[in-house]
Structure 1
Amino acid sequence: MTFRNRPYPAFFGLAVLLFLLATAGSDVVARTTVSGEGVGKAVAEHFHYALVQPIGTAMLLAPFALLGWMSASLAKRQGFDRGLVLFLIGALLLGAMFFSAYQDSQNYMSQKMWTAATLSIGLLPFKSAPLLLVCLAARWLLARNSSEAQT
């Protein structure tokens, strides 16, 4: 049995990998480029805060899980390739948003703007809502266009 036959585990797995890449990767890059930390320290700091703040980490995972659900739902109805296209478009948008937020957070930290630094990351699940609505509309259009073509 392949991933194509089981889209929900496939896309949720991809969503978790994307989450790890987007959060850990963006944070480590921001810490090394903006704050000048070493890579080892930046990785250790990221995972330390991710583990001591499980609710915040779960909230940051939510947009990726929703993207995985939308993509798997589309893949189940219209084929794996369409779901993958939706996932990749959403991944690009979410990845860019998270990267920008982590860069902003480190810039705020260097200016001792603690609240702005915290909120630039803490509000990401809420700032992701419009982007996820765009992905939901794209999912609806991709599913609808294929349904109309079949009739």
Structure 2
Amino acid sequence: MVIATAAGVAPVSVLTVDDDEPSNCITSTLLKRWGYVVQQYRNGPDALAWSKWHLPEAVLLDLAMPGMDGYEIARQMRRHPGWNDVSLIALTCYGDSRSIRRSLEAGFDVHVTKPVPPQALHELLDHTRLGRSAVRACAAELARRPGVLMSTIGNR
């Protein structure tokens, strides 16, 4: 969804969900500097409550959070109408094959292992307006770069 404004095209909207306040703050600050519109939450229930009334173009979700983990948040988001067009990106310290498989099962498009080079994250988010398949294709290309631990999730 591209929204035209008097000044041109509206910025990409991104929801970040991470219980680690410093990490969430750093990510959100960086995204805002790049011109994204950012909404941040530190837990799943608050993010899901917000998501009932708002539809971002991309979501960056930590997987390991107390109470409700990122996998459950992703599953619940995918159940709502309209969320099939939103790019869900797991942004986590888990890079093992089991975690990546669980991301696929939960409905994520991309599984990114922290730390992620800022430019790689920027490129990934810039592809959100082109659709989920474009985000996955971008992730596959970025994964070929040294120092980028990114796994694409199969086409759905």
TM-score past 0.5 threshold: no
Q: TM-score, normalised by structure 2?
A: 0.28
> Which fold has the larger relative contact order, with Cα–Cα distance below 8 Å and residues 6 or more apart in sequence?
1
- Higher helix proportion (structure 1 or 2): 1
